[in-house]
Amino acid sequence: MQVIPAIDIRGGRCVRLFQGDYEKETVYADDPVETARRWVNEGATNLHVIDLDGAKDGIASNTTHIQNICRRTEAKLQVGGGIRSLEIANHYKELGVSRLILGTTAVESPEIISSIIDKHGSESVIISVDAKDGFVALDGWTRGSEVTVKDLIRSMTEYGVVRCMYTDISRDGTLTEPNFQSIEDIIIATDMKIIAAGGISTVKSIKHLYELGVEAAIVGKAIYTGDLSLREALNAVE
């Protein structure tokens, strides 16, 4: 299992939100590239980078920072936020991004998912399943939908998607623990590879996710506050 540090970029700075609320933002660093280098120096080989401005507004807004991370680290990047067209997906792939994370597009324009898979392959796509009370949230978690988590995963399987990231929004940024039951239910219900996110703040939680069979765990706020050591988290699943 991989442990992947998160870098959320808003206004060019590294921030963390509490339960996805843009009004509850904490700034942890002014330089996303230096933050990326920090996590790579601590052992990360993959980075989870989200353009929060793009996620909310639907327009990729921090591509320069993401390009610089690609250029100045050797980590593989999975990038999300504002990827609403094949053109933007192509641009990120040209920059050197390994995997593209799509959430709102999966619900509202699934044909774009199909186009991206046709051009770049199924391994290049991660569907972001951001859950609030069992339903999928859109536009950087600012808008709800009537699509259930299981229905989205089922429909994306038909489009050839092989990997999804599940986040329980109510746990994100809370330093509590992941929604283990929901994660287990998804693992049982699908053959997709599952990436878990939201509330992961202890080595114990990471080991539990490993036992459940997730492919990767995204660690965010806890490594910024010091509640979790990235090195210890990585060593826990070696």
Residues with active-site annotation: 8, 130
**What are the distances in angstroms from CA 141 to CA 56, 182, 231?**
8, 18, 30
Structure tokens at 200: 């992961």
| Main-chain dihedrals φ then ψ at residue 184, nearest 5 degrees | -65, -40
DSSP 8-state assignment for residue 10 = E
Phi, psi of 104 (to 5 degrees): -55, -40
Residue with tokens 């320069």: 64
* Helix 203-212 vs helix 180-189: crossing angle, to nearest 10: 20
Q: Which residue in the block uniquely carries the two structure tokens 């287990």?
A: 184
C-alpha to C-alpha distance for 166 and 183, rounded to whole angstroms: 7
CA 100 to each of CA 53, 96, 135, 206: distance values in angstroms, whole numbers, following the listed order: 16, 11, 22, 24
- DSSP designation for 215: S
Q: For the CA atoms of the chain, what is the radius of gyration?
A: 16
